[in-house]
Structure 1
Amino acid sequence: MNQKSILSHIFDNPFNKLKVGAAAKKTQNKEALRLYRDILKFSIEFDWANKNGEIWRDIIRKSARKEFEIAKNESDPFMVMRMIMTSREAMQKTREKLNEEYFKLNTTFSERTQTNENYKLQ
């Protein structure tokens, strides 16, 4: 193939037609498994119940299991990487939001404790 036909081939064929080797597939599987484990570990932080009395930790774990079961049949490697990246980003944003809320609670508690101590001293 000359250079023109190579470029023509690249531009005429969309990415989803490219073949991904077994090594790349294995890497994706490892990354998906790592993400699943991270979600399970992170779900431990959610130990309170929702309005229906279900523990959020259990809801998150069931949801993750369901999503991964659906995604395991995905054959497009680019879609798999997109799902992994989206899930990891969502988990990171949730972690940041949870940390912000913990910080607010801790600050509020510290302020109340400080106010109570000042009141007792008077």
Structure 2
Amino acid sequence: MKRETLSLYGDIIRATRFFACVDKKGVLWRDCSKKNARREFEESHFEKDPEIITKLLIGGRDAFESSLEKLAGKQRQEVLK
């Protein structure tokens, strides 16, 4: 499971370079995304239950893929404008 965890974290960190938008406070989404990913992984670092770890990985992967789909949709809209 360690390999899956590191893979997901790496995928998230690599993908953040595409998040160039800013939030209402003027903070880049990439910075916010990196910070949130780091926090969530650190919070679950000491989890030992394999079932909970699996649920966290599935949920994290789903959220990651959903974010990428939303980003791709917004980029398509910008291209069509």
TM-score range, shorter chain: over 0.9
Q: How does 1:31-50 map to 2 (within 5 A)?
A: 31-50=4-23
Shift of 1:30: 0.8
Selected match of 2:77 from 104, 113, 122? 104
- In percent, how many aligned pairs have the same letter? 32
Runs in 1 of length 4+ with deviation above 6 angstroms?
Answer: none
TM-score using structure 1 length? 0.64
After superposition, the Cα gap between the structure-2 partners of 1:35 and 1:79, relative to the gap in structure 1 and judged at 3 Å, is same
2:29 maps to amino acid: W
Aligned residue for 2:18, secondary structure, equals coil
In structure 2, the partner of 1:79 is: 52
Q: Which stretches in structure 2 are left out of the alignment for 5+ residues?
A: none
| 1:91 and 2:64 matched | yes
Query: CA–CA distance in 1 between the matches of 2:21 and 2:65?
Result: 20
Aligned residue for 1:44, secondary structure, equals helix
Query: CA–CA distance in 2 between the matches of 1:98 and 1:48?
Result: 10
Shift of 1:50: 1.2
Shift of 1:56: 1.0
Higher RCO by CA contacts (8 Å cutoff, separation 6 or greater): 2
Q: Which stretches in structure 1 are left out of the alignment for 5+ residues?
A: 1-27, 109-122
Shift of 1:48: 2.5
**RMSD over equivalenced CA pairs, Å:** 0.9
| 1:54 and 2:54 matched | no
Query: CA–CA distance in 1 between the matches of 2:9 and 2:18?
Result: 15
